Amino acid sequence: MNAAAVAASVRRSAASPNDTIRVAAVGVRGRGKSHIAAFTGMKNVELAALCDIDESVLRDRVAGVEQQGKKRPAAFTDFRRMLEDKSIDAVSIATQNHNHTLQTVWACQAGKDVYVEKPCSHNVHEARQIVAAARKYDRIVQHGTQGRSGGFREAAQAMREGAIGDVYMARGVCYKWRNPIGKAKPEAIPAGVHYDMWVGPAPMKPFTRNRFHYNWHWQWDYGNGEIGNQGIHQLDIARWGLGVAYPTKVFSTGGRYLFDDDQQTPSTQIATFEFGGPRPRLLVFEVRHWITNDEAGIAEGRAKDAIGNIFLGSKGYLAVGGGIKMYIGKEREPSPVQFGGGVDHYANFIAAMRSRKRSDLNAEIEEGAISTVLLHLANTSYRLGRPLYFNDKTMQCTGDEEANRMLTRIYRAPYIVPEKV
């Protein structure tokens, strides 16, 4: 898109707060349903288009919008064709991890603002390029880590002010019940599925059910395992609460100990992140997929899972999950301090579109990209079976060319995330 067209799009997005913002939702089978619900429920926001590579899903979602009494959205199977509609102000992306960055880059180049689901990238290279695109094209880009708009905002500020003393360590726990997925044989591509576009940047492999809807999360070509699925939320909270950015050392171990199925990613994983500087910090993250204990009350209200964070300080600790609770002193006395609720993450995105201030975003893309780099380093360490020493100036692993090759991928044309946007 030329400079004049981008400028025109910016003027549209910067119009009066009473003007209608037209949003397109992309990838609408699973998480995308929440995107549809959010934007159809807002004043002065129109869900202008839906896009999905599965025509049966697309038809169902279009019909669902009409059943709500809303204007029928345009329907697209090809994301690139949808971007040609200059009347669309923003795209909301809930596709597979391996498509997030390229689709965001394309949208920024087309002059659209973007809400992109977590994790924003499939590898470290993409995490850098998604931020570069947002900056080059001056776009408002929100990361789908909704915890940034939740009640933890007050808790994070309280820790900054010394509520539990000097915070030296954070734990993120993602104990989420996952059933085995079995073994699936190659089969014909289902009618109405545009599989080439679904595969996108990844290697072309025969279609199987375990490489498609949802189970793609557990395949390295498309997903990043549980640490990149549910875990990225808690990993982001842990890094935020510690007040750190990139680690200096990462080590991750784990495996698949219970089931023999098609999953490639670990179902049990422990990752440690060391942060240097004048105030060293430690972040420990754990993934578990089956029976688990509760821990610090974070499983409260959850039938099978225990998902949350624990922050350890010199004067006490703070637990996030099943509410936010603080305990003070060696006797671990419950604190009477209550932390308030949050705001709507999607509404925050729309508000920032209107103000044109990326500082108004609760999860601006650079923050999301930093947390996403952590999960990629953990998975790289796990796959190589050794610690990584990370240099945040070069965004490379020191003295480890094998690891550095895994921080990007070989892209399948024409779905190539560029070296320079």
- C-alpha–C-alpha distance, residues 339 and 156, integer Å: 10
Is residue 14's pLDDT more than 80?
A: no
SS3 122: coil
How buried is residue 337: exposed, middle or buried, by Cβ count under 10 Å (0-12/13-18/19+)?
Answer: middle
- C-alpha–C-alpha distance, residues 118 and 93, integer Å: 10
Q: Report the relative pairing of strands 333-334 and 324-328 from DSSP bridges.
A: antiparallel
Lowest model confidence (mean pLDDT) among 14-23, 90-99, 349-358, 368-377: 14-23
Is residue 6's pLDDT more than 50?
A: no
| Over residues 2-8, mean pLDDT | 45
| Over residues 131-149, mean pLDDT | 97
SS3 191: coil
Alpha-carbon distances of 203 from 1, 190, 230, 246, rounded to whole Å: 28, 19, 25, 30
At residue 18 the predicted structure's pLDDT band, cuts being 50, 70 and 90, is: low
Is residue 183's pLDDT more than 90?
A: yes
For each of the domains in the chain, give its residue range(s) and CATH number, in order of start.
3-147+346-365 (3.40.50.720), 152-340+373-405 (3.30.360.10)
Is residue 288 a contact partner of residue 174, using CB atoms and an 8 Å limit? Answer: yes
pLDDT of residue 1: 43
- C-alpha–C-alpha distance, residues 251 and 241, integer Å: 21
| Over residues 310-314, mean pLDDT | 98
Q: For 191-240, how does the pLDDT look when each residue is reduced to its tens digit (9 = 90+)?
A: 999 999 999 999 999 999 999 999 999 999 999 999 999 999 999 999 99
Is residue 299's pLDDT more than 80?
A: yes
Is residue 12's pLDDT more than 90?
A: no
pLDDT of residue 17: 52
Is residue 11's pLDDT more than 60?
A: no
Is residue 69's pLDDT more than 50?
A: yes
**Amino acid identity at 200:** G
